[in-house]
A and B are shown apart, each in its own frame.
Chain A
């Protein structure tokens, strides 16, 4: 009885859903934030439903499989795609609910409830629980590197000391962020070298997004307030203003040019201090993140992204959070999809 009540309460909660954006998804999934039946989460560990939006070929599919296995049980997967006949990773094979229409929310809510009420049918892992590479190499412990540091045990680079910008010898840690991280355009991942929270080097890689039809609604990504509102919705989530982001997503979803509502949102964003907070971050072409935000808040200018190579060049020396703001503020996901891979550091 108590378990039944607990399950019923859990099933009625807003669905914690992790949205993975693939090829052809554009910025359409940002609008899902407007729906109060959902709660968009930024860690797969917090989600019960993985919503895969668009195409996931090759490396992007492998990353999606790894992400899928990080969701806590009970979990379910929903694939939102206009064409389910394209190449798909293992986690989108049998068991995943396929939605081809313009609104996946009903399917996500149903998947959440099914995961809780029918735990036996929840998604099993698709990868084996083992390191991606064997533990081998030189060094005292067979990990490569020197002494107890450095090397690539199990294929993962370990920290090794190097001089920082102040001349101190501190640990440098190579890590990969993305490709499904809030603040990164679709299919982009960052190969970073960190010292503490500071980037010493960064490569931005655009993974293959495949070819095929886009998600319904993505045609409005280019031009018009809708494009800007979707971008602003994600920017606000990145800045910790989740509720204001929901308001922006709601305006984007309405697909109407309600100028008064847009102006009211812009005032609320300015009052939050976000433009001041972002001032001085990621100066590119004479504009910092704050000015790029202000341009978006006018809701009427076409926004083209800055090529990834140039964005990557501005990242070393930045705090990771500032770097993420730089990448997102310089991005226009419909434009960066075709941009060349960039690297720096």
Chain B
């Protein structure tokens, strides 16, 4: 039996969790960059705050004849999808913001709509580099979305439910990361793809002058970057629930386990951005269809066989 947040409190709670998550992502990013660069990790807590202040002080710029409505809608849609995603994640055995019966299905639809938000962001600037970034992102989108679908369905099989709290409960004896070892790595690929982060940063790379953000500055840039970090947080929280046993763990209170596991997963995802080179879109699609998707199918088949035993 789970408690749900009040209909008015839910968006506030989801927004607060994601804002905090975005800050943690920024701190981890500064720390990881300092370690890899060998410049140390001083001012890791203050630097994200200073960067935010700078973006607030910077004036937004306009391109010639942009699709203004879409330019505003894209970051709002991205942030809204992250909020919807974090809402279905259970924080303890008694509390979720919205523990709907079909949480996994809702999450799948969120991942699909992320493609729309990112393409809209690249399209709406009416500028060639953002548009190229949008093309490049959409070209790889289907590949990693299918991966995610396979591994999420596999995780739902032992729980015999599409509800996230039931999936976490099913991991009381053994976490899915052990029971289905291919699941979490493949889900991480989907997380990096959907947030265009690290080696899958195909829509915001420096080879395209920042990709979909190439012509965005000031507050609109802050909102977009915040939404992207929030989505990474939502993915990490979902990965925690589905593969890392959610609230399960000794001694500490349930929500603390969820937070600790989410931050650990975030740290791994963020670090990958400083350690692994960006993939080439065409080669990634080939690799995805030839190697990763068969592995995803094997993960699903393994879960099915385990359920039949």
Measured between beta carbons, the chain B residues less than 8 angstroms from A173 are 128
Q: Which of A9, A70, A243, A246 has a CB less than 8 Å from the CB of B32?
A: A243
Measured between beta carbons, the chain A residues less than 8 angstroms from B46 are 12
Which of A76-84, A232-240, A304-312, A336-344 is the contact stretch? A232-240
Measured between beta carbons, the chain A residues less than 8 angstroms from B221 are 45-46
Q: Which of A36, A73, A273, A321 has a CB less than 8 Å from the CB of B208?
A: A321
Does A46 lie within 8 Å of B206, measured CB to CB?
A: no
Does A181 lie within 8 Å of B273, measured CB to CB?
A: no
Does B54 lie within 8 Å of A72, measured CB to CB?
A: no
- Chain B 194-214 per-residue mask, 1 if CB under 8 angstroms from chain A, else 0: 000011010001111110011
Q: Say whether A255 faces chain B, with CB atoms less than 8 Å apart.
A: no
Does A247 lie within 8 Å of B36, measured CB to CB?
A: yes
- Interface residues in A221-259 by Cβ distance below 8 A to B read 237-244, 246-247, 250
- Chain B 11-49 per-residue mask, 1 if CB under 8 angstroms from chain A, else 0: 000000000000000000000111111110000001101
- Interface residues in B262-300 by Cβ distance below 8 A to A read 273-283
Q: How many A-B contacts if CB must be within 8 Å?
A: 145
Distance of A54 from chain B, by nearest CB (Å): 21
Does B135 lie within 8 Å of A196, measured CB to CB?
A: yes
Nearest opposing residue in chain A for B49, CB measure? A9
Distance of B124 from chain A, by nearest CB (Å): 15
Q: Say whether A6 faces chain B, with CB atoms less than 8 Å apart.
A: yes
Measured between beta carbons, the chain B residues less than 8 angstroms from A271 are 275
Measured between beta carbons, the chain A residues less than 8 angstroms from B136 are 197, 321
Q: Which of A45, A237, A239, A272 has a CB less than 8 Å from the CB of B214?
A: A45
Does B132 lie within 8 Å of A241, measured CB to CB?
A: no
A240 vs B210: C-alpha distance when bound (angstroms): 10
Q: Say whether A43 faces chain B, with CB atoms less than 8 Å apart.
A: yes
Q: Which of B37, B217, B281 has a CB less than 8 Å from the CB of A72?
A: B217
Q: Which of B35, B56, B207 has a CB less than 8 Å from the CB of A10?
A: B56
Q: Say whether A116 faces chain B, with CB atoms less than 8 Å apart.
A: yes
- Interface residues in A178-224 by Cβ distance below 8 A to B read 181-183, 194, 196-197
Does A243 lie within 8 Å of B218, measured CB to CB?
A: no
Measured between beta carbons, the chain B residues less than 8 angstroms from A181 are 209
Does B37 lie within 8 Å of A246, measured CB to CB?
A: yes
Nearest opposing residue in chain B for A261, CB measure? B38
Q: Say whether A175 faces chain B, with CB atoms less than 8 Å apart.
A: yes
Measured between beta carbons, the chain B residues less than 8 angstroms from A242 are 33, 206, 274
Known A244-B37, A277-B277, A322-B280; judge A43-B210 contact (CB<8 A): yes
A321 vs B208: C-alpha distance when bound (angstroms): 8
- Chain A 100-127 per-residue mask, 1 if CB under 8 angstroms from chain B, else 0: 0000000000000000100000000000
Distance of B271 from chain A, by nearest CB (Å): 10
A13 vs B53: C-alpha distance when bound (angstroms): 8
A36 vs B53: C-alpha distance when bound (angstroms): 18
Q: Say whether B57 faces chain A, with CB atoms less than 8 Å apart.
A: yes
Q: Say whether B306 faces chain A, with CB atoms less than 8 Å apart.
A: no
Does B273 lie within 8 Å of A43, measured CB to CB?
A: no
- Chain B 43-68 per-residue mask, 1 if CB under 8 angstroms from chain A, else 0: 00011011101101111110000000
* Top 10 A-B pairs, shortest CB-CB distance: A9-B53, A240-B278, A13-B50, A243-B36, A246-B37, A72-B217, A274-B277, A10-B54, A243-B33, A10-B53
Sample 19 A-B pairs with CB under 8 A, ordered by A number: A7-B57, A13-B50, A13-B53, A45-B61, A46-B221, A194-B128, A197-B135, A197-B136, A239-B278, A240-B205, A242-B33, A243-B33, A246-B39, A272-B275, A273-B276, A319-B280, A321-B136, A321-B205, A324-B207
Given A243-B34, A244-B274, A247-B37, 15 new contacts (CB under 8 A): A9-B53, A13-B47, A43-B215, A45-B221, A72-B217, A74-B57, A74-B58, A237-B206, A239-B207, A239-B277, A243-B35, A243-B37, A246-B33, A250-B37, A250-B38
Interface of B toward A, CB cutoff 8 Å: 32-39, 46-47, 49-51, 53-54, 56-61, 128, 132, 135-136, 139, 198-199, 201, 205-210, 213-218, 221, 273-283
